[in-house]
Structure 1
Amino acid sequence: MMMMLGNDDTEVVKEKCVKVDKPTLIELSQKPRIYRIPNFLNDEECQHLIDSAKNKLRPCNEISSGVHRSGWGLFMKEGEEDHPTTQNVFNKMKPFVNITDSCEVMQVIRYNPGEQTSSHYDYFNPLTSNGSMKIGLYGQRICTILMYLCDVEEGGETTFPEVGVKVKPIKGDAVLFYNCTPNGEVDPLSLHQGDPVLKGTKWIAIKLINQKVNNNKDQSTNPPSQ
């Protein structure tokens, strides 16, 4: 059975969704490690990320390799992440993950009705020459923070098919999931996909958290603490 989780589905989730200074983590899965972070972004931050991208979007099949995306998106250019609002978003991430110079730039994606992302892994495959090269350049993609920038009328869930977790997109919420196990090995259970948008528009921002190059004991492999 697929588990659908939103902000107000159960009493337990309701109790954990009170707004506090430090965002609250809701554990959705232990293997792989998946957490929902309610109210991670405020309205101003969501709108800033949309505004920074909406006039520069390109078809995702031109900027994404190995994954079928039928939406529109972009990777921020050098310097665009330095905007104070974007930096504030990164500061919110720091209690949970280790943002290093190795981390890749943020990606913003828009999906219209019928558009989706196929099931895929975010980690670099260390058994391939291309994956091994990228690990050497950037460090392994230890975890992913996916942020929902708007509500979606219908569809557009983030689904982890191997473990039966389906996350409804809610404006301002984020999903933090680990692509690797605590010992640093890639986790095939982290397979995920963006379900088709059935009605409305879906905007997301993605930040991939890479292990610091030449540091195999990077703290970002550890579960987040509260």
Structure 2
Amino acid sequence: MMMTLTDQETEVIKETCKVDKPVKLIELSQEPRIYRIPGFLTDEECEFLIDTSKNKLRPCNEISSGVHRSGWGLFMKEGEEDHQITKNVFNKMKSFVNISESCEVMQVIRYNQGEETSSHYDYFNPLTTNGSMKIGLYGQRVCTILMYLCDVEEGGETSFPEVGVKVKPIKGDAVLFYNCKPNGEVDPLSLHQGDPVLKGTKWVAIKLINQKNKETGAPTQ
């Protein structure tokens, strides 16, 4: 049975840093740890990320490590994350996660009708040579913050098939999910996918949070 989000879930975390608007996290799953963050981005922030990206997008059609990703996207270049609006977004993130210098740059992706991302893991596989190398260089991808930059008329949900959680894209909302367990082990239940867009267009921004320490506990209290 799929669980569709409502506004009635219990608020479990409140903002602890100085930001313009308190950030609340709503727990959707304990294993893996998944939280919805309603109204995380303002309309201005959503529009800024779209406007600064729309003329630079490149096709993402690819199949790598068994993952099929369609759509159009980009990774921000060095210095592009220094704009004050982007910094404000990161400040809000810092109220519940630890953003280190090794964290990867933000990615922006646009999905048109029929485009999707197949089920995959965001963590680096520590049992592979390539995964171990990346963990040593950047730290493990302990969690992911997925931000919705627009409403989607139909489809485009973020689904976690192992635990039956399905998140509807709503402009300004975000999803925080942990790719690792609190003890630092990778969490296979974090398998997720971007469902096909059935009608309309889907814009998302993604920030992967890397940590080199072993402990990856709950969001900052």
TM-score for both structures, normalised by structure 1: 0.90
- 2:91 is aligned to 91
- 2:198 is aligned to 198
Q: How far apart in 2 are the matches of 1:81 and 1:60?
A: 21
- 2:209 is aligned to 209
Q: Secondary structure at the match of 2:24?
A: coil
Matched letter for residue 222 of structure 1 = G
Change in CA separation of 1:161 and 1:93 when aligned onto 2, cut-off 3 Å: same
Q: 1:175-221, CA deviations, whole angstroms, 9 ceiling, x for partnerless residues? A: 00000000000000000000000000000000000013xx334xxx1
Q: How far apart in 2 are the matches of 1:131 and 1:61?
A: 22
Structure 2 spans left out of the alignment, 5+ residues: 14-19
Q: 1:4-61, CA deviations, whole angstroms, 9 ceiling, x for partnerless residues? A: 114x4x4x469x9xxx822111000000000000000000000011111100101113
Q: How far apart in 2 are the matches of 1:134 and 1:170?
A: 33
Percent identity between the two aligned chains: 82
Q: Secondary structure at the match of 2:198?
A: strand
The structure in which a higher percent of residues are strand is 2
- 2:77 is aligned to 77
Q: Secondary structure at the match of 2:109?
A: strand
- 1:185 is aligned to 185
Do structure 1's residue 40 and structure 2's residue 35 form an aligned pair?
A: no
The structure in which a higher percent of residues are helix is 1
- 2:168 is aligned to 168
Q: Secondary structure at the match of 1:85?
A: helix
Moved over 6 A (4+): none
Q: 1:131-152, CA deviations, whole angstroms, 9 ceiling, x for partnerless residues? A: 0111011100000000000000
Aligned residues: 213
- 1:137 is aligned to 137
Q: How far apart in 2 are the matches of 1:73 and 1:207?
A: 13
Structure 1 spans left out of the alignment, 5+ residues: none
Q: Secondary structure at the match of 2:61?
A: helix
Q: How far apart in 2 are the matches of 1:111 and 1:223?
A: 31
TM-score for both structures, normalised by structure 2: 0.92
Q: How far apart in 2 are the matches of 1:73 and 1:143?
A: 20
Which residues of 2 match residues 96-175 of structure 1 at below 5 A? Answer: 96-175=96-175
Q: How far apart in 1 are the matches of 2:48 and 2:157?
A: 22
